[in-house]
Amino acid sequence: MGGVKDLIGSAKSSIAGVQIRKPYPSEDDYFKKHLNVGGMAASDNRIILNDHSSLSDQEKEAVATNEAARVHMRTNKSLSPTFSLTDEQQKTLKGTTYGKAALQDRRETIAARILSGDPSGGTPTKEQQVFVDSLKTVMFPKPKIGQVIKE
């Protein structure tokens, strides 16, 4: 793979069925001021990545997976997590933009982090892992025998 930058604007500019697009100028200005933000699920339900961050391509791919999970949860109400957060996870979110966010936003944040392998998601509970496994199945369905896979 040629890296995340090669994905943006190419024929394969999506992950888990969610399009990756270039940030609009106002979004790019935000990213320039917030180098710690690797990307986000934009309001148009597409992923934007921060080209100004120092993340590696592998880390940016994890960010894209995280943001794709957010889009899937945002657009598919059957993928709305209802699990409780652990004290560890609450502590991790405290002091971030998610610390005072609505409980549903915090749940989705933790689910997306667990799915993408972000250690800040904490140690998942059994209930959280069951939810993340079902989310992963929707995002990355396994092809059926005889199914033609489009490249």
User: How distant, in Å, are the alpha carbons of 2, 94, 146 from that of 106?
Assistant: 33, 10, 40
- The per-residue pLDDT for 142 is 85
Amino acid 58 reads Q
Low-confidence ranges of the chain (pLDDT < 70): 1-12, 146-151
pLDDT value for 4 = 55
How far is Cα 19 from Cα 110, in angstroms, rounded to an integer?
22
Q: What pLDDT score was predicted for residue 11?
A: 46
pLDDT of residue 95: 87
pTM, entire model: 0.87
pLDDT value of residue 144: 75
Distances 151 to 13, 61, 143 between C-alpha atoms, Å: 12, 18, 13
- pLDDT, tens only, 104-123: 999 999 999 999 999 999 99
